[in-house]
Amino acid sequence: MMSEMPIIPENLSKEDLDKELIRIGMIAELDAVNFYEQMASLTKDENLKAVLLEVAREEMVHIAMFETVLMEVDDVYLKVLADYSLARN
C-alpha cells in the first residue's frame, strides 16, 4: 500500500507534475480496489462482504475520474489508448 508519493516533485515541470499526480492517484485507487476485494474474499460475513465490494466499486469510479482528467491533459496517453483501440479492431 502506498503511503508516500513515489516521485520527487521538485524534479518535474508543473505540467509533468500534474500528470504524475493523476497517475499516482490512479495507482492508489487501484491498490484500494485490490485491498477491499481481497478482504471481501476472506470474510464469511455476507454483509461485510457486500460493504467491502461496494467500497471497491466506489474506488473504481475514482479511477475513472482520474483517467478522464488524465485524458484531458496527456496527449501521449490518448495516443496510446487510440493505438490500442485500433489494434483491437
Any domain includes 48: no
| Beta-carbon count within 10 A of 7 CB | 14
**CA pair distance 52, 41, nearest whole angstrom:** 9
Q: Is pTM, for the whole model, over 0.85?
A: no
Q: Decide if 13 contacts 57 (C-beta within 8 A).
A: no
Any domain includes 85: yes
Tens of pLDDT, residue by residue, the chain (89 residues): 667 777 777 788 888 999 999 999 999 999 999 999 999 999 999 999 999 999 999 999 999 999 999 999 999 999 998 888 888 87
pLDDT at position 65, please?
98
Total tally of structural domains belonging to the chain:
1
Output the nine-digit C-alpha cell for 43: 470474510
Burial of 35 (0-12, 13-18, 19+ CB in 10 A): middle
pLDDT at position 22, please?
96
- Grid cell 454483509 in the structure block, residue: 47
Domain that holds residue 75: 62-89
